[in-house]
Chains A and B, each alone.
Chain A
């Protein structure tokens, strides 16, 4: 016998279920209850950098859109600083870096407006390419899925990114790169998430 380590165990995850909106986006469930819902404004009015929109759809193993997904985004500002006390540096007043969106019940499309993040210092002094961390929950997803949105126009930074380079299969890296387009003068990045099948999105155990 040995001494007991006495660590607690993390509470096991359970699916967010089909009615996740009631708790995290009640307006979408069909009622008004809070003074303000959280996660609607990621960057705030004072954020520097390029204003962008990120859009996509989450597709299941049959090729159908998943229409009851909730996604959360976590990102640095345009200078690569996270709005968090442990991250050195200051962010603009009103910049939170966190957002929450749901998919449209009819189409499965989601989208949010933000600013493009800057490169962030990674482990061992290796710079990470600009990216948005994404967390995906839904009915049928037992543990929330983590992935990252990278940007098509950051070719050099993406090639040097330490996380991209952990992915052994170069072909799979492409699933993390959002396509840049322009619509009515606005920059729109397209990022579709595929749960299964050919070009299944890379998900991380963080």
Chain B
């Protein structure tokens, strides 16, 4: 009989390094000492749990969760759907997925965003949901626009959706960004290019999914998210006790 043990070591060569000189803000916000590696204890194996009492069914529908009655936001209507899996390929059920994004014009509903594209009165720009027992999730939203940002003088973020996921243990906590198939801005983005490996970047580009499109209504993109996998302790579990 096996029990669940530690999470697999995070592959730090697959993730972006803390210091990435072309993403200028990282220069003064990157630790310079090496991280201290810890074997997992109860503090890392456990993590917060969420249930249907925490959120509402409408929270995953960005087309209606902030719109006035009878209205909807401007933009291409899309479904974003996929599964949350672990590195063993197993679904991660009942886990909280939260997203946020700019509107179709590339403007965020945020008091610190001053880009001249207009706020959409019918679009908030955030959503959240729990994965089902198969790790499946979906959102309905509008495709976000590209927007300029201060890094080099003429930098534009590719269209993207920010994604936050929990998993079952605090060691799995992850924030990332989803990009869109075919967007030419992905290749030149200094934030995308903090990720050293092209195959890792491709893992963040959602594919147009014609099978999930709703004809005459909404396009669809498929985005699977992978969290750290977990060891099965075959002989002895020394996480706690003796």
State the A residues within 8 Å of B (CB): 6-24, 26, 29-31, 33-36, 38, 60-62, 66, 68, 72, 74, 76, 82-87, 96-98, 105, 120-125, 128, 131, 133, 135, 137-145, 148, 163, 166-167, 172, 195-197, 200-206
Given A10-B227, A142-B194, 17 new contacts (CB under 8 A) = A8-B87, A14-B192, A21-B110, A22-B100, A23-B100, A26-B126, A74-B47, A84-B48, A105-B112, A122-B42, A122-B240, A133-B170, A143-B18, A172-B33, A196-B31, A205-B12, A206-B38
Give 17 A-B contacts (CB < 8 Å), ordered by A residue.
Answer: A8-B89, A9-B200, A10-B174, A11-B176, A22-B100, A29-B110, A38-B50, A66-B29, A85-B49, A121-B42, A123-B240, A125-B240, A125-B242, A140-B23, A142-B20, A143-B18, A200-B33
- Quick check: B36 and A205 within 8 Å, CB to CB? yes
Say what secondary structure dominates the interface of chain B.
Answer: loop
B41: nearest chain-A partner, CB-CB: A122
Inter-chain contacts of B36 with A (CB < 8 A): 166-167, 202-205
- Quick check: B100 and A19 within 8 Å, CB to CB? yes
Inter-chain contacts of B50 with A (CB < 8 A): 38
Of the candidates A142, A196, A204, which one forms a contact with B32 in the assembled complex, judged by CB atoms under 8 Å apart?
A196
A84 and B26 CA atoms in complex are apart in Å by 34
Inter-chain contacts of A143 with B (CB < 8 A): 12, 15-16, 18
Inter-chain contacts of B46 with A (CB < 8 A): 74, 82, 84, 86-87
Q: Contact mask B85-129 → A, CB, 8 Å, 1/0?
A: 111110000001011100000001111110000000000111010
Q: With A74-B170, A206-B40 in contact, is A61–B29 under 8 Å at CB?
A: yes
Q: With A133-B43, A141-B26 in contact, is A205–B111 under 8 Å at CB?
A: no
- Rounded to whole Å, the gap between the CB of A185 and the closest CB of chain B is 30
A165 and B98 CA atoms in complex are apart in Å by 36
- Quick check: B98 and A23 within 8 Å, CB to CB? yes
Residue B207 interfacial (CB < 8 Å): no
State the B residues within 8 Å of A (CB): 4, 8, 10-12, 14-18, 20, 23, 25-33, 35-50, 54-56, 59, 65-66, 85-89, 96, 98-100, 108-113, 124-126, 128, 162, 164, 170-171, 173-177, 191-192, 194-195, 197, 199-201, 203-204, 225-229, 238-242
Inter-chain contacts of A82 with B (CB < 8 A): 42-43, 46
- Quick check: B54 and A38 within 8 Å, CB to CB? yes
Inter-chain contacts of B226 with A (CB < 8 A): 8-11
- Quick check: B23 and A142 within 8 Å, CB to CB? yes
Inter-chain contacts of B18 with A (CB < 8 A): 141-143
B17: nearest chain-A partner, CB-CB: A142
Say what secondary structure dominates the interface of chain A.
Answer: loop
Of the candidates A10, A87, A124, A204, which one forms a contact with B242 in the assembled complex, judged by CB atoms under 8 Å apart?
A124
- Quick check: B176 and A200 within 8 Å, CB to CB? no
Inter-chain contacts of B30 with A (CB < 8 A): 61, 140-142, 195-196
- Quick check: A87 and B174 within 8 Å, CB to CB? no
- Quick check: B14 and A12 within 8 Å, CB to CB? yes
- Quick check: B110 and A30 within 8 Å, CB to CB? yes
- Rounded to whole Å, the gap between the CB of B95 and the closest CB of chain A is 13
* Closest 3 A/B residue pairs (Cβ): A23-B100, A140-B25, A98-B48
Of the candidates B4, B38, B43, which one forms a contact with A74 in the assembled complex, judged by CB atoms under 8 Å apart?
B43
A205 and B8 CA atoms in complex are apart in Å by 12
Of the candidates A14, A76, A121, which one forms a contact with B204 in the assembled complex, judged by CB atoms under 8 Å apart?
A14
A138 and B11 CA atoms in complex are apart in Å by 21
- Rounded to whole Å, the gap between the CB of A171 and the closest CB of chain B is 12
- Quick check: A31 and B44 within 8 Å, CB to CB? no
A60 and B8 CA atoms in complex are apart in Å by 30
A60 and B205 CA atoms in complex are apart in Å by 31
- Quick check: A13 and B175 within 8 Å, CB to CB? yes
Inter-chain contacts of B66 with A (CB < 8 A): 31, 33
Inter-chain contacts of A30 with B (CB < 8 A): 109-111
Of the candidates B28, B41, B113, B192, which one forms a contact with A120 in the assembled complex, judged by CB atoms under 8 Å apart?
B41
